[in-house]
Structure 1
């Protein structure tokens, strides 16, 4: 059964320039070493070392997300957007984490193009996922803390299926249950912007970059786009081999 990913009308109205490029990989082999992902991470680390990749809260790629976080009640300096946290770590420490091939691929893409990136194990999603304001009934289990349960703030923008929250603060932190791990064989990757100050072409270029990293390890990689004006995408769990 395909999963539908939709944008809630309130999010459409408040963030009319939001855009999510979706990359769906099926027949994924996420075990072992991915030399392409390692090379991409190493290249970003080298570029950070020479100053070709920088971090600043004044850059539109980060400033626009800070403004969005404040709009739904989150302090972005205490709870940082994912791209902010990852770029800040790269520039300050000179190195990015290694998790598994697919996660390394989207982290490398995120810092290369300065866009938030995340992913869900597609086989752990239900029929409907929505980007929407949180409600009092929602619950979230943080990545790496399977015994913890958090209650998101009302109005905080989240990805959710039913009352199960899949991300906090739009893209700050992922859920433990839907994380991409070595056993994942189908995944959906999200590359996001919140403002037209970040060109749409940057997201399509990022999607092409991520696709190239995924393709050697997947039977199929396809893309779709989610916007406030086109707020529904259908993500099939199986695609013909391309």
Structure 2
């Protein structure tokens, strides 16, 4: 499998850095107190030290609002995943514990205020791409919802068959989410300056 990024994305956002973690042969079925502690610590630090009144005004989150605006995406209607998580915590809403892998990358996402998501490599078809949709790609939202065809020009993570994440870092699909059965995972780390 290969991972490709459409060149125009770097032309639009010269300060963009994309890192990735690939983990193979993991056991995501066993509870980890260490990961629980990391997530609790990240949530506590955010509650105590968040430097903006509103999540979207934080200096690490605001670039996402600006980028979404540049792409014609409403940041209010489709906030980045990190903005959604920060809002939830700052409002005092409970933050879900899902499974060790998801809890680990969520704790790092919260600690460093960057969007991160995980894609189960064993569910993907062909190569992985960060690119503008061509207008034929299907997307089925995580945890229910109807399949839709993603409009041409929307920035997406996708494999050779399906959209995996809509509006760049907004919402992930059902098919490749990390579950207790996940053994091999790809975690992109998107950073905007």
Q: 1:39 & 1:94 partners in 2: Cα distance?
A: 18
- 1:103 equivalent in structure 2: 102
Task: Give me the CA root mean square deviation.
Answer: 1.6
TM-score of the two chains, using structure 1 as the length reference: 0.74
User: Which of residues 31, 34, 38 in structure 2 aligns to 1:33?
Assistant: 31
- Give 5+ residue unaligned stretches, structure 2: none
Deviation per CA, 1:187-215, whole angstroms, max 9, x where unpaired? Answer: 01111113xx3xxxxxxxxxxxxxxxxxx
TM-score of the two chains, using structure 2 as the length reference: 0.92
- 1:57 equivalent in structure 2: 56
- 1:183 equivalent in structure 2: 181
Q: 1:154 & 1:97 partners in 2: Cα distance?
A: 33
Give aligned pairs, total. 191
Bigger shift: 78-87 or 121-130?
121-130
- 2:131 equivalent in structure 1: 132
- 1:123 equivalent in structure 2: 122
Q: 1:153 & 1:88 partners in 2: Cα distance?
A: 27
Bigger shift: 66-75 or 109-118?
66-75
- Give 5+ residue unaligned stretches, structure 1: 198-242
- Structure 1 position 193 matched with structure 2 position 191: yes
Q: 2:18 & 2:112 partners in 1: Cα distance?
A: 14
Question: Whose RCO is larger (CA < 8 A, sep 6+)?
Answer: 1
Verify the 8 A CA contact 2:137 2:149 in the aligned structure 1: yes
